[in-house]
Amino acid sequence: MEIADSCEVNANSPTTSMKDSDVHSSRDPLNTQLNVTTTTNIASYAPPGSPDHHLCSSTSETNLFSRDIIKEEEGQRRTCLVCGDIASGFHYGVSSCEACKAFFKRTIQGNIEYTCPASNECEINKRRRKACQACRFQKCLRMGMLKEGVRLDRVRGGRQKYRRMIESSPYIQPPPKKTLEDNKLLQVLRHCEPEAFLVNMDMTLPNYKIRTISTLSDFYNRELIGTIEWAKQIPGFSNLTINDQMKLLQSSWSEILVLSLVYRSLPYNGKISLTNNFSLDESQARLCGLSEFFFQCLRILERVEHFGLRKEEYIIMKAIIIANCDIQLENYSSLLKLKNNLLSALYDTTAILRSGNPSINVQNTLLLLPSIRQADILIHQFWDLIRTEGKISLNRLLVEMLDAQ
């Protein structure tokens, strides 16, 4: 008796009858025919679908098991990865149904942009695939559908030949990170930042106290002029009426100056730097009657140094102080728009410069405002006292701005 020593699974051969080994099943949609030419119980098995796939068995149980494996793989391959419907093939690189194929093609060819009415987390399945086009399109991309596979000319033709890029991902590529250069409002504020200047002490005055206060008066007057010119260049400030602009400047110029003094005094060394050649230490401040103002500025300075206020944040914060005034205006809507734009610029800047939650970091920066306002109250009390004593004449513009508050 001859015994064949090999057997082969041929999934593509036509159905044939074999003596004593016909295990053809009508349930098999692929009409897979197992040609068994041995009666031994020796079985060799390789992974289904591989070119070396061989099965040898004398029982129909093993044959049915192998067919189940093939059917299971075929079922998985023919499921639409987008909605779960029966797939009609591989379209744009992904196993998908005709409906999702057409939807993806229509979206790319029409350059259509969708918006999710909910939270961009809609469930996409066979029944609900039409409920949210935005989430459906995003899932198409996540599953790996390639935009390059869609003919943009809408002309029917043969299959397009394209290669999946090595660096491509089945997930949506995140948008490029923002940079400080992308923050247009910040760039304008950077450009219009006032230039530093020096002050000269009048040595002809009788004593050190009067010379120091006179120099301080000159400094405040020049800072006031620079602040007015700077404010005019803030995007959106010129949209306000002239009266509104004046009211805002009258209410905020001194607070802006306090923040400027604090930032110039970094790093903290026990002094307040007004300019590069003029600063006050504790003894000088006490001599001039500025002790309370001096120590309030030092408290702010310590917080700013601990928090690590960046220059970009400082520049935007000065503009926010103007927009944060709580006064009656003719055109409050324009001020509100200006304030929102500045807060957005601060948020974007903080998100780039700092780690952690940007919202919390912005809140910590804005919490400096109450302390700055307290310092502003103290410096106004100082100037009121100087005017009452009458020993030093103040510039007319400075007097008008002090009276306006």
User: Cβ contacts of residue 382 below 8 Å, gap of 6+?
Assistant: 289, 290, 293
Better-predicted residue by pLDDT, 160 or 215: 215
CB atoms within 10 A of CB 188: 15
Better-predicted residue by pLDDT, 175 or 299: 299
Same fold, 77-151 and 184-403: no
The pLDDT tens digits of the residues spanning 150-169 come to 876 655 555 555 554 444 44
- The b/e string for 262-276 (b: 16+ C-beta within 10 A; e otherwise) is bbbbeeeeebbbbbe
Q: Assess contact for 230 and 321: CB atoms under 8 A.
A: no
Query: At 181, is the pLDDT very low, low, confident or very high (cuts 50, 70, 90)?
Result: confident
The pLDDT tens digits of the residues spanning 25-36 come to 444 443 444 343
- Distance CA(315)–CA(289), nearest Å, equals 30
Looking at domain 77-151, its CATH class is alpha beta
**What pLDDT sits at residue 161?**
52
Q: Was domain 184-403 assigned CATH 1.10.565.10?
A: yes
Highest mean pLDDT out of 116-125, 275-284, 290-299: 290-299
**What pLDDT sits at residue 159?**
53
Q: Is residue 55 predicted with pLDDT exceeding 60?
A: no
Query: At 89, is the pLDDT very low, low, confident or very high (cuts 50, 70, 90)?
Result: confident
Q: Is residue 128 predicted with pLDDT exceeding 70?
A: yes
**What pLDDT sits at residue 309?**
94
Q: Assess contact for 367 and 352: CB atoms under 8 A.
A: no
CB atoms within 10 A of CB 297: 24
Q: What is the rounded average pLDDT of the residues 326-342?
A: 92
Q: For residue 277, which amino acid is it?
A: N
Does 267 sit behind a cis peptide bond, omega within 30 degrees of 0 on the bond before it? yes
Percent of the chain topping pLDDT 70: 75
Give the range among 12-21, 62-71, 305-314 with minimum mean pLDDT: 12-21
- The mean pLDDT value of the chain amounts to 80
Q: What is the rounded average pLDDT of the residues 286-295?
A: 95
**What pLDDT sits at residue 111?**
85
**What pLDDT sits at residue 243?**
95
The pLDDT tens digits of the residues spanning 247-269 come to 999 999 999 999 999 999 999 88
Give the range among 91-95, 158-162, 362-366 with minimum mean pLDDT: 158-162
Query: At 312, is the pLDDT very low, low, confident or very high (cuts 50, 70, 90)?
Result: very high
User: Cβ contacts of residue 18 below 8 Å, gap of 6+?
Assistant: 35, 36, 37
Q: Is residue 215 predicted with pLDDT exceeding 50?
A: yes
Instruction: Break the chain into its structural domains and give their ranges.
Output: 77-151, 184-403
Q: Is residue 63 predicted with pLDDT exceeding 80?
A: no
